[in-house]
């Protein structure tokens, strides 16, 4: 049950391209109640199997820049020639309902959000090797040129792990998923998230309210 008097937490998950962040987050959404993934906007073309409105909100460059002009993004950036951005309105609507929210964004997007929303909890997904991310990008159909560009970007992003609150190595998928799951669920045990109304014993409840 969601307590709408308690604001949800914002989790930011980043990794280099091919690091497996989207796969891991989709698995978590299926398993953890009261957890949603924020749908980001992009001007890149959909990949095979991607569903508009579920994987991304696909916009034209003109539509995206119009949203920038209206200050509708919590963060946005140009990555490999395409815009990516997080809609501000949708994020705060979900958090204000007491629901936890995951953003799957890159390092520069994380830094933008942390400047304005310091409560965000940040998690970096580290691949076990550079070769692993190359193989993952090939498997999903990226071109050789795309792989080359993203590999160069990965070499710049990986050293940024030290600016995150948590780091998870995505070598074995099931273990990485469980590590992420523990981070999210343990955060819900913080005192700021404690709902006194779940206590049935009135004497104990009075003591907790002192």
CATH label of the domain that carries residue 131: 3.40.50.300
Share of the chain above pLDDT 70, in %: 98
What is this structure's pTM? 0.82
In this structure, is residue 35 part of a structural domain? yes
In this structure, is residue 144 part of a structural domain? yes
Range of the domain at 110: 10-39+99-208
In this structure, is residue 122 part of a structural domain? yes
In this structure, is residue 4 part of a structural domain? no
Q: At residue 1, does pLDDT exceed 70?
A: no
Q: In the chain, how many domains are there?
A: 1
| 70 vs 73: CA distance, rounded Å | 9
pLDDT band at 3 (very low <50, low <70, confident <90, very high): low
In this structure, is residue 190 part of a structural domain? yes
Q: For residues 85 and 64, is the Cβ–Cβ distance under 8 A?
A: yes
Q: What is the mean pLDDT of the chain?
A: 89
Virtual torsion, Cα 40, 43, 49, 54, nearest 10 deg: 30
Q: At residue 183, does pLDDT exceed 70?
A: yes
pLDDT band at 69 (very low <50, low <70, confident <90, very high): very high
In this structure, is residue 118 part of a structural domain? yes
Virtual torsion, Cα 87, 91, 92, 93, nearest 10 deg: 100
Residue 115's contacts (CB-CB under 8 Å, 6 or more residues apart) are none
* pLDDT tens figures, 105-124: 889 889 989 988 889 999 99
Q: At residue 29, does pLDDT exceed 90?
A: yes
Q: At residue 10, does pLDDT exceed 60?
A: yes
In this structure, is residue 53 part of a structural domain? no
> What is the pLDDT at residue 2?
55
In this structure, is residue 3 part of a structural domain? no
Q: At residue 86, does pLDDT exceed 70?
A: yes
Q: Quick one: angle between helices 21-31 and 173-187, nearest 10?
A: 60
Averaged pLDDT, 85-109? 92
């Amino acid at each position: 049950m969601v307590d709408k008097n308690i604001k949800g937490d914002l989790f930011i998950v980043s990794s280099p391209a091919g690091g497996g962040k989207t796969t891991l987050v989709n698995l978590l959404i299926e398993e953890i109640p009261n957890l949603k993934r924020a749908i980001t906007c992009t001007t890149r073309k959909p990949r095979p199997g991607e569903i508009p409105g579920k994987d991304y909100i696909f916009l034209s460059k003109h539509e995206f820049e119009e949203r920038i002009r209206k200050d509708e993004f919590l963060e946005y950036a140009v990555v490999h020639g395409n815009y990516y951005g997080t809609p501000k309105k949708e994020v705060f609507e979900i958090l204000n309902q007491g629901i936890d929210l995951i953003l799957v964004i890159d390092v520069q997007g994380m830094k933008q959000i942390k400047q304005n929303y310091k409560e965000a909890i940040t998690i970096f997904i580290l691949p076990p090797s550079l070769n692993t991310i190359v193989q993952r990008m090939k498997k999903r159909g990226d071109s050789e040129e795309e792989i080359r560009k993203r590999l160069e970007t990965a070499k710049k992003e990986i050293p940024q792990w030290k600016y995150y609150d948590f780091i998870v190595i995505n070598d074995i998928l099931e273990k990485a998923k469980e590590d992420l799951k523990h981070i999210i669920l343990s955060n819900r045990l913080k005192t700021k998230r404690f709902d006194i109304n779940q206590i049935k014993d009135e004497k104990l409840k009075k003591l907790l309210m002192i």
